[in-house]
Amino acid sequence: MSQRTERRGIHVDQSDLLCKKGCGYYGNAAWQGLCSKCWREEYQRVRQKQIQDDWALAEKLQREEEAAYASSHGVQTQSHSQSTAPHPGHASLGPFSKFEEKKTNEKTRKVTTVKKFFSPSSRTATKKETQEGKTPSPSISRRASFDTDQVSRDFLDFLKNLQKPGREIHKQCRVFIVNMLSKKDLGADELSECVQDFYQNMADRLMSHFKGSSDSVEQVMDQVEKYIMTRLYKSVFCPETTDDEKKDLATQNRIRALHWVTIQMLCVSVDEEIPEVSENVDKAITDIIEMDSKRVPRDKLVCITRCSKHIFSAIRITKNEPASADDFLPALIYIVLKANPPRLQSNIQYITRFCNPSRLMTGEDGYYFTNLCCAVAFIEKLDAQSLNLSPEEFERYMSGQASPRFNGSEGDWPHTGSALGITATNPVLAQVNHNLELLSGLSGRQERLMEAAQSLQADLLSWSDSVQREVHDIREKYPLEILSCTVPAIDANNIDNDNLPSPLTPQVFSG
Partner 1 sequence: MSAMRVDTKVVMLGKESVGKTSLVERYVHHRFLVGPYQNTIGAAFVAKAIQVEDKVITLGIWDTAGSERYEAMSRIYYRGARAAIVCYDLTDSSSFQRARFWVKELQKCEEQCKIYLCGTKSDLIEGDRSLRQIDYHDAQDFAEGNCSLSKMYHLDLIPELLNTRFPTYTKMPSSVPAEETGVNLGQKKDPYFYSCCHNN
Nearer to partner 1, 320 or 484 (CB): 320
Identify residues 125-164 at the interface with partner 1 (CB under 8 A): none
Whole-number minimum distance, CB 256 to partner 1, in Å? 22
Q: Which of 32, 141, 278, 386 binds partner 1 (CB under 8 A)?
A: 386
Single out the segment in contact with partner 1 by CB under 8 A; choices: 106-114, 252-260, 316-324, 430-438.
316-324
Whole-number minimum distance, CB 188 to partner 1, in Å? 20
Q: What's the CA dihedral at 424, 427, 430, 432 to 10 degrees?
A: -140
Nearer to partner 1, 289 or 373 (CB): 373
Q: Which of 74, 297, 330, 408 binds partner 1 (CB under 8 A)?
A: 330
296 dihedral zone (left: phi>0; alpha: psi -120 to 50; beta): beta
Nearer to partner 1, 276 or 364 (CB): 364
Measure Cα distances from 54 to 161, 194, 224, 463 in Å. 25, 19, 20, 111
DSSP state of 88: G
d(CA 81, CA 76): 9
Single out the segment in contact with partner 1 by CB under 8 A; choices: 91-99, 305-313, 417-425, 467-475.
305-313
Answer whether 58's CB lies under 8 Å from 178's CB.
yes
Nearer to partner 1, 105 or 213 (CB): 213
Q: Which of 13, 24, 161, 326 binds partner 1 (CB under 8 A)?
A: 326
Nearest of 126, 356, 134 to residue 226 by alpha carbon: 356
Single out the segment in contact with partner 1 by CB under 8 A; choices: 129-137, 328-336, 405-413, 427-435.
328-336
DSSP state of 271: -
Nearer to partner 1, 53 or 218 (CB): 218
Residue 48 interacts with partner 1 (CB under 8 A): yes or no: no
Single out the segment in contact with partner 1 by CB under 8 A; choices: 169-177, 208-216, 250-258, 453-461.
208-216
Whole-number minimum distance, CB 370 to partner 1, in Å? 6
d(CA 15, CA 146): 56
Q: Is 246 helix (H, G, I), strand (E, B) or coil?
A: helix
Residue 213 interacts with partner 1 (CB under 8 A): yes or no: yes
Nearest of 188, 298, 183 to residue 237 by alpha carbon: 188
Nearer to partner 1, 27 or 74 (CB): 74
Answer whether 333's CB lies under 8 Å from 378's CB.
yes
Whole-number minimum distance, CB 332 to partner 1, in Å? 10
Nearer to partner 1, 157 or 321 (CB): 321
Measure Cα distances from 492 to 72, 121, 171, 487, 497 in Å. 152, 153, 148, 10, 11
Q: In sequence order, what are the residues at sequence separation of 6 or more whose Cβ sits closer than 8 angstroms to the Cβ of residue 340?
A: 252, 255, 256
Complete DSSP assignment for 99-135:
HHHHHHHHHHHHHHH-TTT----HHHHHHHHHHHHHT
What number of residues does the chain have?
A: 511
Q: In sequence order, what are the residues at sequence separation of 6 or more whose Cβ sits closer than 8 angstroms to the Cβ of residue 105?
A: none
Whole-number minimum distance, CB 304 to partner 1, in Å? 12
Whole-number minimum distance, CB 215 to partner 1, in Å? 7
Whole-number minimum distance, CB 301 to partner 1, in Å? 13
Q: How many CB atoms neighbour CB 65 within 10 A?
A: 24
Q: What's the CA dihedral at 447, 450, 456, 459 to 10 degrees?
A: -80
Q: Which of 323, 336, 344, 424 binds partner 1 (CB under 8 A)?
A: 323
Whole-number minimum distance, CB 368 to partner 1, in Å? 7
Answer whether 250's CB lies under 8 Å from 168's CB.
no
By CB under 8 A, the count of residues binding partner 1 is 37
Residue 214 interacts with partner 1 (CB under 8 A): yes or no: yes
Complete DSSP assignment for 253-317:
HHHHHTTT--TTTTT----TTSHHHHHHHHHHHHHHHHGGG--SHHHHHHHHHHHHHHHHHHHHH
Whole-number minimum distance, CB 362 to partner 1, in Å? 4
Identify residues 346-385 at the interface with partner 1 (CB under 8 A): 358, 361-364, 366-368, 370-371, 373-374, 377-378, 381, 385
Nearer to partner 1, 17 or 372 (CB): 372
Complete DSSP assignment for 368-391:
HHHHHHHHHHHHHH--TGGGT--H
Nearer to partner 1, 27 or 330 (CB): 330
User: How far does CA 371 lie from the centroid of its chain?
Assistant: 19
Residue 234 interacts with partner 1 (CB under 8 A): yes or no: no
Identify residues 250-269 at the interface with partner 1 (CB under 8 A): 267
The site map against partner 1 for 262-301 (x = CB under 8 A) is -----x----------------------------------
Question: Which residues of the chain form contacts with partner 1 (CB under 8 A)?
Answer: 212-215, 267, 309, 312-313, 315-316, 320-326, 328-330, 358, 361-364, 366-368, 370-371, 373-374, 377-378, 381, 385-386
